[in-house]
């Protein structure tokens, strides 16, 4: 999953309207209250196990929960899989 933030970083200096049009054309998974709460619960569960990961990763993973398969190349996702029923595909 590519976040809006990561795309903005790639296009520093681009014309604002062109960038907005490009971003709006990408499929998006909304981050509603359930996404935030699920991510927070996963974070709490991991904290109790002594495992700390970046919070943004929790919310990205939570947004994809039961909606998308995340391709990843980091260790944090494997840690989140231990507390959430996520579809995982390693690259």
SS3 71: strand
The model's pLDDT over 24-83, given as tens digits with 9 standing for 90+, comes to: 777 777 788 999 999 999 999 999 999 888 888 888 888 888 887 777 666 777 788 777
Residues in the chain, overall count? 91
- In angstroms, the Cα distances linking 72 to 17, 23, 57, 87 are 30, 21, 11, 11
Residue carrying structure tokens 């840690």: 79
The model's pLDDT over 7-24, given as tens digits with 9 standing for 90+, comes to: 777 777 666 677 777 777
**pTM for the complete prediction?**
0.64
- In angstroms, the Cα distances linking 8 to 4, 14, 58 are 6, 9, 20
Q: What is the pLDDT, as a whole number, of residue 68? A: 76
């Amino acid at each position: 999953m590519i976040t809006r933030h990561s795309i903005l970083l790639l296009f520093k200096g681009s014309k604002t309207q062109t960038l907005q049009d490009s971003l709006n054309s990408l499929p998006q998974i909304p981050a509603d209250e359930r996404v935030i709460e699920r991510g927070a619960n996963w974070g709490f569960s991991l904290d109790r196990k002594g495992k700390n990961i970046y919070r943004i990763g929790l919310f990205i993973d939570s947004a994809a929960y039961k909606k998308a398969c995340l391709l990843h190349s980091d260790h944090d996702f494997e840690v989140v899989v231990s507390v959430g029923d996520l579809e995982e595909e390693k690259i």
